[in-house]
Amino acid sequence: MATGAHKTYEIRCPVYGFITLNDWEWQIISQPAYQRLRRIRQLAWTDYVFPGAMHTRFEHSLGVMHMATMLYDGVMERSRDILQAAGYNEDDLKRHKALVRLTALLHDVGHAPFSHAAEELMTIRDPDAGDRYQHEHYSANIVRRCFGDVIENHPLNRNCGFSAEDVANLLEDKPEAGEALFWRDLITGQLDADRMDYLLRDSLHCGVSYGRYDWQRLVHTIVAVPPTVEGGPRIGVMEGGWHAAEGLIVARYFMFTQVYFHKTRVIYDHHLQNALSALLPGGHFPPPTGEALDEYLRWDDWRVLGLLAGGDGGEHGRRLSSRDHFREVTHTPESPSSEDLARLNDWRTALGDLLAAEIPAEKSWYKMGSADVQVLADTPTSEAKPLSTYSSIVRSTPPIEQVRLYVRPEHRADAVARLQNS
């Protein structure tokens, strides 16, 4: 290894083998706000169902950087001429690779304890609409507040000239990110490095096969689709890779139905949200602004677990600590009909005061229209068409709109009897 700023580091990864970081990136992950990700589980309490699911946002974030780099290199290998024709010069492209790596590395620093399970307790952003801040808002502002010095003053930044604001702008999809916005689809999009990594990693740690897909084929077929009259170039895949893209979407569908919306896993999210509401001042996390971010960063899984071990968190905290979760008594089909929804209302009435929780799943697997992944045809005209025109699976898979009903364990027998008599 070279010395000083040019030193490189290798971290062993169960998905890819080794992930390499330069000294700049090593200094970034050494910051306290980044090391906090070691104390935030990727899948909250999923280990109560799949015991191997103990992995963290730290390893996932390293994986996203690694995957984003492979995707970036794949685009450059096949589409350098398209990007240069669109006005990207060699210096831009070298700088953009470093920016993509930093943005991917930092994309999740704003996660709350136990990841997405706690996102419902983030501060309301728009009181009129009831919209909450998302972890992406926290990530961008944490980058601005905590990573300015290590991003801007490292020797390896001399040829790039990045500021923390550049990374935050790309995270937030702001126009100020300029030409670099083209690469944002590698971090947040329908074929992004984030979901490509978490499907592989979650599948591995849960011990299931549902999240596996041909990621190597995607890396070797990802391209820049030439610009149209409506806009600039876009990220897409060659025609030879559309089945791999379809496989990614199917893998996401299976992981949601079999793991992420597992009946026991989601009720633990419910208990966690209610326990956290009892633990947090005012029942929610501080907003992602100013000094409030410093208090937000003091919340991690360890702090929550310590409070729960001390008996805090009310009924839901006790149920988490004792593994005494609410029990499902019935659920609708994944895509309920009008008759199914009418039956759901009958179930609610029959359960009455025994109904302890109702948890809906609302998930769309693929966005059509302008977000549809473009497939570059292997023809003399190299025409680009949406993936949905190639794949009947993508075109016809309905969103999941399942609803699960739960009661307290001590009421389950009575609840089943009521449903049978309804």
Concatenated DSSP letters for 321-389? HHT---EEEEE--SS--HHHHHHHHHHHHHHGGG--EEEE--B-S---GGGSPEEE-SSTT--EEEHHH
Does one domain contain both 93 and 220?
yes
pLDDT at 4: 60
Count Cα atoms within 13 angstroms, Cβ side, for 315.
5
Report yes or no on 140 lying in a domain. no
Does one domain contain both 151 and 225?
yes
Does one domain contain both 178 and 93?
yes
Give, for 415, the enclosing helix (H) or strand (E): helix 412-421
Report yes or no on 167 lying in a domain. yes
Domain count, the chain: 2
Say what the pTM is: 0.95
Does one domain contain both 99 and 244?
yes
3-state SS, residue 409: helix
pLDDT at 123: 86
pLDDT at 323: 95
Give me 109's structure tokens: 């620093």
Report yes or no on 296 lying in a domain. no
pLDDT means over runs of 10, the chain (422 residues): 72 97 98 98 97 98 98 95 89 93 98 93 81 92 97 94 96 91 92 96 98 97 85 91 96 94 96 97 94 96 98 97 97 95 96 97 79 87 89 89 96 96 86
pLDDT at 229: 60
pLDDT at 1: 43
User: 345-349: which pairs have CB atoms within 8 A and are 24 or more residues apart?
Assistant: 346/422, 347/405, 347/419, 347/422, 348/405, 349/422
Report yes or no on 344 lying in a domain. yes
Q: Buried b / exposed e across 49-78, counting CB within 10 Å, b at 16+?
A: bbeebebbbbbbbbbbbbbbbbbbebbeeb
Does one domain contain both 89 and 213?
yes
Q: Contact 77/150 with Cβ under 8 angstroms?
A: no
Report yes or no on 173 lying in a domain. yes
Does one domain contain both 96 and 218?
yes
pLDDT at 5: 65
Does one domain contain both 189 and 238?
yes
C-alpha dihedral sign at 393, 396, 399, 405 = negative
Does one domain contain both 256 and 359?
no
Report yes or no on 291 lying in a domain. no
DSSP letter (8 states) at residue 391: -
Host domain of residue 331: 326-363+399-422
Does one domain contain both 215 and 345?
no
Does one domain contain both 386 and 338?
no
Report yes or no on 116 lying in a domain. no
Does one domain contain both 205 and 347?
no
Give me 14's structure tokens: 């169960």
Does one domain contain both 215 and 346?
no
The enclosing domain of 161 has a CATH number of 1.10.3210.10
Q: Residue 132 corresponds to which amino acid?
A: R
Report yes or no on 67 lying in a domain. yes
